[in-house]
C-alpha cells in the first residue's frame, strides 16, 4: 500500500495504512522534518517506524562530467513551451497564473484552494524562498513536477542521495527519469555502480517479493487456509 500526499489527512492515512509514502520535499531540512513527522505518527496505530518507507521523488539528470549533465538539462529546459509550463504551474499551485507577467514575481495574495494543498505550499514556498519569477518557477518544476531535481555527475548525485538517507530524510528513492528509457539507463549505468561502491545499494535482489526488497514485513495472506475455514 503506497500513499502520496503531504497534507495532514494524507500523512495520517499513511501512518495508519501505508507501507510506503511518496514525498516531494526539495531541501534536506524539509525532507528531515517530513520524515520525522510521518514516522512519529505510526506508534498510535501500533506500528513501528520500519513499517513505513519514505521514498522521495528524485529527478536525476546524469552526465559523466558536470558540463555534460548541464548540457542535457538545458536541452530539456529548452523544450518547455510557456503555455505548457504555465498550465502545469497552474495545476500544481491551484491558481491560474496566465494573467500575470511571466517575468514578474508570484503574487503575494494568491487564494488557498482545494487543489493538492501540500504541493501548492511546496511550489509557492520554493518561489518565495528563491525569489523566482513565474517563468523561472515553471522552468524549475516542469521537468520534475515539483519534486527534487538534481543535475550532476554520478558521484555528485550519489553524494546528495547519501546525505538525505544518512540524515533521516529518506529510506529510499522514487527515481523519476527525465526521459525514457535513456534517463533511466543513465541512472542505472552510472549512478547505481557508485551507490554500490559506497555500500548503499544491493548487488542482487535479496527477496522474491517487493515487500522483501523494500525491507518490509510480508503481510499475512487473508486467503490462507485458516482464514478461509474461519470465514465458512
Rg (CA), the chain: 20
* CATH, residue 16: 3.20.20.30
Domain contains 195:
yes
| pTM of this structure | 0.80
Cβ neighbours for 213, distance < 8 A, ≥ 6 positions apart? 202, 205, 206, 207
Domain contains 120:
no
Model confidence band, residue 130 (pLDDT cutoffs 50, 70, 90): confident
Domain contains 111:
no
Domain contains 53:
yes
Q: Kindly write down the DSSP assignment for every residue of 1-65, as one continuous string.
A: -EEE--SHHHHHHHHHH-SEEEE---SHHHHHHHHHHHHHTGGGGT--GGGSEEEEEEEEEE-SS
Q: Does position 108 have pLDDT exceeding 80, yes or no? A: no
Q: Does position 67 have pLDDT exceeding 80, yes or no? A: yes
Rounded Cα gap, residues 216 and 50, in angstroms:
7
Q: Does position 194 have pLDDT exceeding 70, yes or no? A: yes
Question: C-alpha grid cell for residue 51?
Answer: 513499517
Domain contains 9:
yes
- pLDDT digit string (tens) for 6-45? 889 999 999 999 999 999 898 999 999 999 999 999 999 9
Query: Mean of the per-residue pLDDT values for the chain?
Result: 88
Domain contains 104:
no
Q: How far apart are the first and last CA of the chain?
A: 27
Give residue 15's domain range: 1-58+152-217
Domain contains 79:
no
- pLDDT digit string (tens) for 147-191? 899 999 999 999 999 999 999 999 999 999 999 999 999 999 999
Nearest to 55 by CA among 106, 6, 17, 115: 6
Q: Tally the domains of the chain.
A: 1
- Pairwise pLDDT comparison (87 vs 94), residue with the higher score: 87
Domain contains 166:
yes
For residue 154, which phi and psi values (nearest 5 degrees)? Answer: -55, -40
Question: C-alpha grid cell for residue 118?
Answer: 501540500
Q: Which pLDDT belongs to residue 226?
A: 61
- pLDDT digit string (tens) for 203-219? 999 899 999 999 998 88
Amino acid at each position: 500500500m503506497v500513499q502520496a500526499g503531504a497534507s495532514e489527512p494524507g500523512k495520517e492515512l499513511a501512518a495508519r495504512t501505508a507501507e510506503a509514502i511518496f514525498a516531494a520535499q526539495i531541501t534536506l531540512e524539509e525532507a528531515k522534518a517530513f520524515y520525522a513527522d510521518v514516522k512519529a505518527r505510526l506508534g498510535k496505530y501500533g506500528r513501528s517506524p520500519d513499517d513505513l518507507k519514505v521514498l522521495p521523488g528524485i529527478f536525476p539528470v546524469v552526465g559523466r562530467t558536470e558540463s555534460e549533465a548541464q548540457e542535457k538539462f538545458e536541452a530539456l529546459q529548452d523544450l518547455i513551451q510557456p503555455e505548457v509550463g504555465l498550465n502545469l504551474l497552474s495545476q500544481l499551485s491551484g491558481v491560474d497564473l496566465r494573467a500575470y507577467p511571466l517575468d514578474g514575481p508570484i503574487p503575494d495574495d494568491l487564494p488557498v484552494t482545494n487543489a493538492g494543498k501540500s504541493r501548492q505550499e511546496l511550489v509557492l514556498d520554493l518561489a518565495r524562498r528563491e525569489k523566482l519569477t513565474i517563468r523561472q518557477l515553471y522552468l524549475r518544476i516542469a521537468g520534475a513536477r515539483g519534486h527534487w531535481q538534481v543535475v550532476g555527475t554520478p558521484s555528485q548525485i550519489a553524494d546528495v542521495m547519501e546525505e538525505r538517507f544518512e540524515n533521516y530524510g529518506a529510506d529510499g528513492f522514487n527515481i523519476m527519469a527525465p526521459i525514457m528509457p535513456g534517463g533511466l539507463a543513465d541512472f542505472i549505468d552510472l549512478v547505481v555502480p557508485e551507490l554500490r561502491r559506497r555500500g548503499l545499494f544491493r548487488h542482487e535482489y535479496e527477496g522474491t517479493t517487493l515487500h522483501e526488497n523494500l525491507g518490509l514485513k510480508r503481510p499475512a495472506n487473508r486467503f490462507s487456509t485458516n482464514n478461509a475455514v474461519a470465514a465458512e
